[in-house]
Structure 1
Amino acid sequence: MSDIHVLIVDDEEALVRSLSYALRGEGMRISTAGSGEAALELLAEETTGIDIVLLDLGLPGIDGLATLDGIRQLHARLPVIMISAHGDTRAAVQAVKSGATDYLTKPFELDDLLATITSTLSLARCEEPAVAVSDELAAGLLGHSPAMSTLHAAVGRIARSSATRILLLGESGTGKTLVAQALHNHSGRGGQPFIEVNCAALPEQLIEAELFGSEKGAYTGAHQKRAGLVSQANGGTLFLDEIGELPLALQAKLLHFLENGSYRAVGANAASSADVRVVAATNRDLADDVQSGRFREDLFYRLNVITLDIPSLRERGEDVLLLAEHFARRQAVEEGVEPIRFLPDSAQALARHRWPGNVRELKNLVERLTILSPGQAISVAMLPSALQGLQIEPLVLGEQLELAERDLVTDALSRASGHKGLAASLLGISRHALKRRLHRLGLDRSTER
C-alpha cells in the first residue's frame, strides 16, 4: 500500500501522531490538518495529490459533516473515511449517507484501518472485486493457497451478484467478519452503511429493539423513539454474526423481514421496510440445530441459498507463515519496534500446528512474541510448548514406527529362515500383506523360500 497519500483531519494530536507513524510504516505519505477549515484549505490546492481522507466527526469550528460537504464540493470522488467516537455510530452512518465512503469507531485497531483504506481505495478506483491476492479483500484474508484463491474468486462473484441473503460458514477465528466486509465493499452497496450485529452479545430482551427499533415508551427505559440497526443499514449490508445464537422468538420476525423486507419496530402500529443485503455467519451446524429444535427450519432454508465456506487456517498450507509475517509487521508498527523473524525450525512448527483458534490464534501468538521478544529471530524453543512438541513429534513417531516394523519383519524372517510364507504366519498377516511391507521397507530382495 505504498505511494498512497493520506490526509488525517483530527484535533487529537496524540492520535494524529500515532496514526501518522503507523501509516508511514506502511509506506504511505501523510498530511495532517487540525480543523475542517485547515483541511479544506489544503484540499483547495490542486497539487496536493491526496488519495484518501481520514476525517473526525467532532472537530473544532466546522464539524466533520460540514467538512465532508466542503470536501465533496472540492473533490466529488475523493474517498473519505469518517472517524467517530464511541457512541456516535448513528452520526457516522448519517455521514456515510451524506457521501462518506466508510466509517470507523474509536478506538479501532490498525488492521481495521488498513483493511478499510485498502477496500475503500479499491472501490474508488473501480477495480475488479478482489480476486487477486494483491487486493487482499481485507487485511487478514491474505493467502496464495488454493483454498484462499477459491475464496477470493467466490467473494468477487457473490459481491457482484444480486443475492441479498448470504450465509457464511466457518470455524471461530477464520475471518467471517472480514469476508462479510469484503462482500459489502466490492458490491454495488459499497458506498452505503455496513452494520454489524453480534447476535450472541446482545441481551435477549433487547435484541429485537436493537434490530428493528422501538417507539417511545415501548418498554421500560425507552424514553425516546429509537431507530434500529435494520433501518440504519438501509441501502447497505446488515451482518448478523453468530446467527445460530438468535432466540427462537426473534427468528420468526427475522424470517418475515428476510421474506419481504418488512418489519415492525417494538411498540409501533405500522410496519416499515428496508432494502438490505443480509449476510449471516455461524460456526455452528445449523442443520443439527434444526433437528434439535434450536433453529427454525424455514429460516435455515431462507438463509441457505448462497453459502460460502471459510477455510480453517490448517487448510491453508503456506499461508500460515505469510500471515505470521504480515501480523509481525503490523504488530511491530503498533509497538514501535523491529518486527520479529521466524527461523526455519519455528516456521516448520507454525506450519505443522493445527491452529484450533485459526487466524485469531496466530495473530495473538505473534502479538505475544512481539511484546516479549521484540525484533528477535524466533526459534522453536521460544514458541509455546504445544507448538514445540508438534515441531518434532510427527517425524520422530513416524521414524519409530518404521524402525519397529522393520525389526519385527526382519526378526520373523530370521526365525522362519527366510521363508516368507512362514514369516507371514508368525506375524499374523497374509503373505500378500507381508510382501507389501517388504517392498515398502526395502526388504523385498530377500530370497524366496
Structure 2
Amino acid sequence: MCSACWQKHPGRPFIRGEHLRDQLSDPPTWLGDFVAHVAARHCVARACGFVTGLGRLLKDEHSNSPQALLERSRRPGRSMGSFARALEDFFTLHGLALPTDQAERLAAGRRGRRLEAVPEPLRQAVAAFDSSRMRAQERARRAGTRPRSNHTLETALATMRDLARFLVNERDKRDWALVDVHDIEAFLAILPRGRKRRLTVLRQFFRFAQSQKMVLVDPTRQLVAKEANGFRGRTLALDQQRELFRRWTTDEHVHPHEAVVGMLALLHGASSSEVRMLQINDIDQQAQTVRLGKRPHPVPLDPASWTVLQRCLAHREAWRTDNPHALVTKGTKAGRSPASTAYLSHVLDDCGFPPRMIRSTRLVDLVNTMDPKLVAAAFGMDPQAALIYLADSIDPTREVVLPSDRR
C-alpha cells in the first residue's frame, strides 16, 4: 500500500489504538470505544491525531480518570480545542465525566473585557455591581428558580460601560455621586429606541449603588420609560411573503437550512431558538408534526413545510452524523451540540429579511385575526406577550354595526 492510500485507510485509527493499548501497562476499558467514536465522526488523519493526543495524556504522571483527562486536554484561551471537545462528547455520552465549564469561562472573559473598558475612576463600582449580580445568579441556580442568563449580565455591563464613557468624555464626571438626572436623560437620548432597556439596567445599578452608600440620591427614580408597550417592529407585505414562499418551495439552489428556518417562521411563527433546538425525536414522520420549543402540543405541518423539512433532513443524512438536532453544520456534525446562535442569526441573510421580522409578521396576523389568548396558549407564550402584537386599529370589514348606527 502506497503512502497516499495508507493515509486514507479507514483502519488507521484502530491500528493506532491497538498500538497504544500495547504500550500502556493499564489501558482504560473505554479506549476501544473512544477510538471507534472518533473514527466514525472524523476524518482518518484527525482521528489518528486524537488517539495520539490521548496517548500523551495517558502516559504522563497525572491521574488517568476521565474527568482529569478532560481537564488536561483543554487548551488555554477562548477555544478549548477540537481534541478536548471530542473527549467531552465521548465522556458525557457514556456517562464517564461531567461537561466542562467552557461556556462559563467564555462568559467570564466577555464580562472581563467589558469591565476593562470602563474608565478607571468608575470601574470599581461597576465591578461590585457585576459581582452582586453573579452571586444572585448562583443563588437562583441553587434555589431552582430562573437565574439571569449570561447574555443578560453581559448586556447590562455593556450599558454601564457606555454610560461610564459618556460621563467621563461628555460630562467630565469621574464620580458616581456627581451623576444627576440630566446626565441620565442625555445618555438615554443617544439611543431612543433602547431607552426602556437601558433605563432598566440603570435603575438596578443605582439602587445597588445607593444601598452600598456609593451615591446618596438615585438619579433614575423619577424617570419613566416614555415608551408605548406595543409592537413597533417591521412586518412583511403580502407580496413579499409570496415571494419568500416561492423562493423556499421552488428554488433548488436555496440552502435547506434557510428554507426550513424561513418556512417555519413564515407559516408557523417559529423562532430561531425553536428551530435551532429541534431534534430528530421531535419529528413525527407518521403524523407529520413537530414539537417546537415549549409549545404544549405538536405542530402539524402543511405539505409545503413538510417537504422543506424533509429536504433539510436529507441534507443532514449526507453528513453521516450522530448529532440529534435537525440542523447540523460543519462545526457540529462531529458532536451533539446544536448549531450556534450566530449561525441561525445569519442563515436568512440571502433572502434579505431577518428571522424576527418574518416571525413577527405571522404573530401579528394571528393575534389580530384570532383570540390573543388562544394564540398565546398554542405558542406557549405569556398572554401579555401576545397582546403586544395586538394592533390598535379596527378592521372595517369586521366591525359590528349597531341598529342605532343604521338610523
Pairwise TM-score range, normalised by the shorter structure: under 0.3
TM-score (norm 2): 0.22
TM-score (norm 1): 0.20
